[in-house]
Structure 1
Amino acid sequence: MTAVRVTPRSSLPRVALIGGLLWATAACAGTGTSTEAAEAKSSTHSSTAWEEPAAYTYTLNSTEGERALIGTFRVTVRDGKVAKAVGLDEESRRVVRRSPGVVPTIGGLLKELAQARRDDADTAEAEYAADGHPLRVTLDWDENAVDDEARYVISAYEPATSS
């Protein structure tokens, strides 16, 4: 007959595993909560207080959905209003010909973002540059609806220098 030797197993590895899982769960939950709180706190601006200058230029690429504003535009803002919008592709040239006033300032995009958040849109997100101006705004009022999305990418932002 073969002798079987039974040794008591330590429960330390099991306790360590459970403790690690609890710690990871708590850490993830804390990160999401603080991120949500930060996003809610800054409904129209990043944590860096960015104030829209009265004069600047930027390139706007607008995609998604069947909105009136589709294409890539070079935008010049003076006195807080769009002074000039140039379509950089066929789609945007058509928009500028038909409805030149539809091209927004960056402040106008931030107002649209704030309104989407007030309206409890399914998606109302923005990414910001180090100086606080938005780089990307993504909106979707109803995730179940077709073509109500908007995606704006802001590049080549240059505040006007006073001379």
Structure 2
Amino acid sequence: MTAGRSRARFPSTAALLAALLCATAACGSSAETNELKSTWEEPASYSYTLTSSTQVLAGAFQVKVRNGKVAEVVGLDEDSRRQAQNPPAEVPTIGKLLKTLDQARSEDADTADADYAADGHPVRISLDWDENSTDDEASYTISSYEPTPG
């Protein structure tokens, strides 16, 4: 009778292991959604708020994009106001941020992550080309995104 119980448990154990493997695989695939390229198409004109933490660009900026190019930048804090007044304030479009993200991924950066809004535009981009290097990290938060008439 003991042998009968063992045989009855074996299929249950196998099923449990199979379920765990499937769950693990599902977790892995959901983590990879962060690696996928956004299907969002950048409109010609829009506005957004960029909060940036990089060696080159730090602070919060209100950005207006017209015809695919940055048309106006307003600094929202002391550091960003100073940067916006002293050209070249290299404030990117959202499309340029996505190209930088794609470049970091193609160059196998240690960190190249993004979170996306329901419409597909990025709301957060984190980059670190080499975790052992200093000063190559970048963090961008995109908020108040609003498409505008051209």
TM-score band, normalised by the shorter chain?
0.7 to 0.9
1:62 aligned to 2:52?
yes
TM-score normalised to structure 2 length: 0.85
Deviations 1:59-114 (A, max 9, x none): 00112x5x111100000111111111111011211221333441111111111111
Shift of 1:31: 4.1
C-alpha separation in 1, matches of 2:77 and 2:147: 24
CA shift, 1:131, in A, is 1.1
**What residue is the counterpart of 1:115 in the other structure?**
103
Matched, 1:144 2:115: no
Question: How many residue pairs get matched?
Answer: 148
State the match for 2:67 in structure 1. Answer: 79
3-state SS of paired residue (1:16): helix
Whether 1:157 aligns to 2:148 is no
Report the secondary structure of 1:102's partner residue: coil
Residue type of the alignment partner of 1:78: R
Q: Which residue of 2 aligns with 1:128?
A: 116
When Rg is computed on C-alpha atoms for both structures, the one with the higher figure is 1
Q: Deviations over 1:13-69 (max 9, x none)?
A: 565345313321233124424753x555x43x2xxx321111111000112x5x111
Q: Structure 2 regions of 5+ residues with no counterpart?
A: none
Distance in 2 separating the partners of 1:95 and 1:14? 67
Aligned mates of 1:22, 1:92 — CA distance in 2: 53
The farther-off stretch of 86-95 and 27-36 is 27-36
Name the TM-score, length of structure 1 as normaliser: 0.78
How many Å apart are 1:145 and its aligned residue?
Answer: 1.5
Matches of 1:130 and 1:33, distance apart in 2: 19
Match of 1:16 among 1, 12, 24: 12
Once superposed, what is the RMSD of the aligned Cα atoms?
Answer: 2.3
